[in-house]
């Protein structure tokens, strides 16, 4: 299984969100961003209940797993991650990020993810304090701070989430942990510097990569260049 913990912690890595891809030629779009320098691939799973949108399920992930060797960074925006995490892992997910606000017990979800051989991450919505994930921090490969309200791509970056990013980064450093800190929502050439300076080292970017007028390679290169701000 591909391992998110093998990706660098001291450089900005880019996880293009396929929510912004053309699903009519998804394999070609994945190949395009891979060749452009993507470090991993972000899969937004929404259930229409936890967030007001429906996206993809295990069959799609199983299908694209055959077409990509990138780490599948799978973000479960669903109410019941405890039940569904093993199903997504079986379909090809290497890493599962679930929401602290979901209905399942966080410790039980972490245990279930690890039992099935994947790495675990926790995400927090904009209104959720950073401290809610601290009890689980030493068991996580990644923390994801949403910089938009989850549910739809193409939203504007929420600058007021940066203190939360910094608070989590400081706690990671204080404990001497190796945990990726990811941000998702409105990440592009004009916001990546802000996110990196706040402490994020992993950037989810959908529209700004897949639909960049200058092409995916230019977009990903611009995001990678923010490594100098870490």
pLDDT at 36: 98
Task: Cite the active site residues.
Answer: 44, 184
Q: Which residues of the chain have pLDDT under 70?
A: 1, 151-154
Measure the CA–CA gap between 115 and 57, rounded to whole angstroms. 21
Q: Provide the pairing of β-strand 71-77 with 40-46.
A: parallel
Range of the domain at 20: 4-229
Specify the 3-state DSSP secondary structure of 96: strand
pLDDT at 151: 64
Give me the CATH number covering residue 43: 3.20.20.70
Phi, psi of 62 (to 5 degrees): -60, -40
**pTM score, whole prediction:** 0.96
Measure the CA–CA gap between 55 and 41, rounded to whole angstroms. 15
Dihedral angle sign, alpha carbons of residues 7, 20, 55, 157? positive
Q: Where are the beta strands (DSSP E) in 17-105?
A: 40-46, 71-77, 95-99
pLDDT at 1: 58
pLDDT tens-digit series, residues 121-172: 999 999 999 999 999 999 999 999 999 887 666 678 999 999 999 999 999 9
Specify the 3-state DSSP secondary structure of 190: coil
pLDDT at 74: 98
Q: What percent of the chain has pLDDT over 90?
A: 94
* Polymer length of the chain: 230
pLDDT at 152: 64
């Amino acid at each position: 299984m591909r391992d998110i913990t093998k990706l660098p912690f001291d450089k900005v890595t880019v996880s293009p969100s396929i929510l912004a891809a053309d699903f009519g030629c998804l394999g070609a779009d994945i190949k395009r961003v891979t060749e452009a320098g993507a470090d991993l691939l972000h899969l937004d799973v929404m259930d229409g209940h936890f967030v007001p949108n429906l996206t993809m399920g295990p069959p799609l992930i199983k299908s694209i797993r055959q077409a990509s060797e990138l780490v599948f960074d799978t973000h479960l925006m669903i109410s019941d991650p405890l039940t569904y995490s093993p199903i997504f892992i079986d379909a090809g997910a290497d890493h599962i990020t679930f929401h602290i606000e979901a209905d399942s017990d966080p410790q039980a979800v972490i245990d279930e993810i690890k039992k099935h051989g994947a790495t675990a991450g926790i995400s927090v919505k904009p209104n959720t304090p950073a401290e809610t994930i601290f009890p689980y921090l030493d068991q996580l490969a990644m923390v994801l701070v949403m910089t938009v309200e989850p549910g739809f791509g193409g939203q504007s970056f929420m600058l007021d989430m940066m203190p939360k990013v910094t608070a989590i980064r400081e706690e990671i450093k204080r404990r001497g942990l190796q945990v990726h800190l990811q941000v998702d929502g409105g990440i592009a050439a004009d916001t990546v510097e802000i996110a990196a300076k706040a402490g994020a080292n992993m950037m989810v970017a959908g529209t700004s990569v897949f639909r960049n007028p200058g092409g995916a390679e230019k977009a990903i290169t611009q995001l990678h260049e923010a490594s100098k701000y870490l």
